[in-house]
């Protein structure tokens, strides 16, 4: 889809891009000075310059060039070309505000391996590990995960960032990550009743009692989020390209690995009973 894209060029919007496609200019290579769409010579020169830059940045494997130029709800267009350097990211914290709260766990998934980080154990390994990737995929990470991480570790994540909140929102799927999953028919199984508020309670239960099963259930929840992100990324990409010249190039559904931790239903039931009032009034729902 990236090579069919023209809206990253200043002055080219969706309508002009559609006119290109309708006139047979389906890719960067199709654009020539004999363009059938009427444009001024200065606009032709701008397009030619940006397309040359686009080819060079794709060749040099620089996703930030496209991330900086494309609107957030179209960032999925560069996903396939940079999929081999993409990681799905999700964090769990003790609260929504970065001031006065901590990161409890982080999960990463790169379509091959799952990596997880635990506060008090290996959390400090995260800044070095995230540097291995060029693209991160999150849900609402532009607003929450990335700013929280940057402030917590005192680092800057300069990756190209695909935030599925904007892509799915442009497709009509709004709400939190769990809401989008439900709308798209994705079942979380034993984790269906667990949310961000519950994740905080799991962490505090682990810290207070040393209950390893609470920690493992929290990690299962965190890891489920990043596995779901790949599934949603592929679904959203395929929906987006349906009305473009790339409509035949649908991505296959990802084969997701097993979560390496089991959900402890007894721990979930106990915490729910102990915090029933909190659940009824949780702002996380």
pLDDT over threshold 60, residue 283 = no
Q: What does the alpha-carbon distance between residue 219 and residue 267 come to, in Å, rounded to a whole number? A: 14
**pLDDT at residue 70 is higher than 70:** yes
CB atoms within 10 A of CB 149: 24
* Residue 280 confidence (pLDDT) above 50: no
Q: What is the pLDDT of residue 277?
A: 57
* pLDDT for position 284: 37
pLDDT given at position 35: 84
pLDDT at 77 over 70: yes
Which one, of 285, 180, 222, lies nearest residue 88 by Cα? 222
Pairwise pLDDT comparison (100 vs 135), residue with the higher score: 135
Rounded CA separation 180/232 (Å): 9
What is d(CA 245, CA 235) in angstroms, rounded to the nearest whole number? 17
pLDDT for residue 175 is more than 60: yes
Stated as kind and residue range, the H or E segment containing 22 is helix 14-22
Residue 285: per-residue pLDDT? 34
Mean pLDDT within 26-35 = 89
Please provide the distance, in angstroms rounded to a whole number, between the alpha carbons at the two ends of the chain. 36
Instruction: With a cut of 60, say whether residue 153 has pLDDT above it.
Output: yes
Q: State residue 188's pLDDT score.
A: 87
DSSP string, 238-270: HHHGGGSTTTT-PPPPP-PPPPSS---HHHHHH
- Average pLDDT estimate for 211-240: 97
Tokens 């097993």 -> residue: 258
Q: What pLDDT was estimated at residue 278? A: 53
Q: Identify the residue with better confidence: 83 or 186.
A: 83
> Which one, of 208, 219, 224, 216, lies nearest residue 267 by Cα?
216
Q: Which residue has the tokens 């779901």?
A: 228
Q: Which of the four pLDDT bands, split at 50, 70 and 90, describes residue 282?
A: very low
Alpha carbons within 13 A on the beta-carbon side of 69: 22
The helix or strand, by DSSP H or E, that contains position 158, with its residue range, turns out to be none
Number of neighbours of residue 276 by Cβ within 10 angstroms: 10
pTM: 0.93
């Amino acid at each position: 889809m990236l090579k069919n894209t023209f809206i990253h060029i200043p002055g080219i919007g969706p309508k002009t891009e559609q006119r290109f496609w309708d006139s047979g200019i389906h890719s960067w290579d199709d654009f020539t000075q004999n363009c059938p769409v009427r444009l001024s010579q200065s606009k032709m020169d701008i397009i030619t310059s940006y397309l040359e830059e686009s080819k060079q940045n794709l060749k040099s494997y620089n996703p930030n060039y496209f991330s900086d130029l494309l609107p957030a709800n179209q960032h999925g267009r560069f996903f396939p070309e940079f999929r081999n350097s993409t990681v799905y990211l999700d964090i769990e914290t003790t609260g929504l505000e970065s001031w006065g709260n901590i990161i409890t766990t982080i999960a990463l998934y790169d379509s091959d391996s799952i990596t997880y980080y635990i506060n008090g154990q290996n959390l400090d390994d995260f800044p070095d590990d995230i540097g291995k990737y060029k693209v991160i995929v999150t849900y609402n990470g532009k607003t929450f995960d990335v700013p929280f991480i940057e402030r917590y570790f005192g680092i800057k994540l300069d990756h190209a960032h695909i935030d599925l909140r904007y892509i799915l929102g442009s497709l009509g799927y709004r709400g939190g990550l769990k809401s989008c999953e439900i709308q798209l028919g994705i079942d979380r199984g034993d984790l269906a009743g667990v949310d961000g508020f519950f994740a905080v309670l799991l962490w505090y239960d682990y810290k207070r009692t040393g209950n390893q099963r609470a920690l493992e259930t929290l990690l299962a929840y965190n890891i489920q989020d990043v596995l779901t992100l790949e599934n949603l990324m592929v679904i959203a990409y395929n929906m987006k390209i349906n009305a473009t010249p790339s409509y035949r190039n649908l991505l296959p559904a990802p084969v997701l690995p097993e979560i390496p931790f089991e959900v402890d239903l007894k721990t979930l039931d106990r915490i729910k009973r102990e915090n029933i009032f909190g659940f009824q009034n949780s702002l996380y729902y």
